[in-house]
Amino acid sequence: MQVAITGASGLIGRALAESLRLDGHRVRPLVRRAPDDPAAVRWDPAAGTIDAAALEGVDAVVHLAGAGIGDKRWSEDRKRELHDSRTHGTDLLARTLAGLDRPPMVLLSGSAIGFYGNRDDDVLTEVSAPGDDFLARLVADWEGAAAPAAEAGIRTVFLRSGLVLAGHGGILPRMALPFRFFVGGRIGSGRQWMSWVTLADEVGAIRFLVDREDMSGPVNLVAPEPVTNAELAQALGAVLHRPAAIPVPAFAPRLLLGREMADGLLFASQRVRPDVLVAAGYGYAHTEITAALRAVLGR
């Protein structure tokens, strides 16, 4: 199988590409620079250019590219960059795939549980309504930009990922750092729900969805048991053999990141359930947070 991947140098993209190659599949990374990999495909979303001919006959496309949500403070310019890096790239890719003589069987397009907004204790599934904050609107537009592919008959799946836990990248090493210095604890009240998934299950679920010809539309890529922030802090402390007794007051991240960014990334409560994956029979490697953290952190 030939699988094209945007964002192949990111945390999820690297792990997915490695998994596919180990099983003998050919990975076609989409890259902006001059490629040193003969399998690479050139594209430049900002310029609206892509090597369409190189995508002819590819079996599946996994679209993970986009500016990092938590990499910089959310100024108005940064929010525009976050939005445009997702919608412009997705639209370019979807229109290109729709116009191919031999289009892929499936497009799996990156998305996020930010679609649901801040929902307190509500249990959220793939049929739940969208939220109305910046991230919710961004994700809705991001998914909408893939419409040309779906309208052309390409099976299109939206990967609504939660908090991806990995020991070597992403947010977990930053979360673990205070605990290593004995100053870890919940953030704010700790009552906000955090829907998580290990990197192994993120990759496993994506590969599962590539193969399932009967599945399309939004799919929540989260473990079946979300936890509150306080529960996550307790589990992380236990795995690292550190106390989780020093809470971070809400004003601190709001001062550091700005209120909108802090509320969107740290205090939004999203109790998300993966109904579609569970009903389809996906077999999770990690379903309980403490065991998952031990596996991810090598404990």
- CATH classification of the domain holding 132: 3.40.50.720
Q: Is the dihedral angle over the CA atoms 176, 181, 182, 187 positive or is it negative?
A: negative
As averages over each run of 10 residues, the pLDDT of the chain (299 residues) reads 97 98 98 86 95 97 96 96 97 98 98 97 98 97 98 98 95 94 96 98 98 97 98 98 95 94 96 98 98 94
What is the residue range of 41's domain?
2-297
Phi-psi region of 21 (alpha: psi -120 to 50; beta: other; left: phi over 0): alpha
pLDDT of residue 299: 76
Beta bridge partners of 42: 31
pLDDT of residue 33: 84
pLDDT of residue 193: 98
pLDDT of residue 35: 72
Domain count, the chain: 1
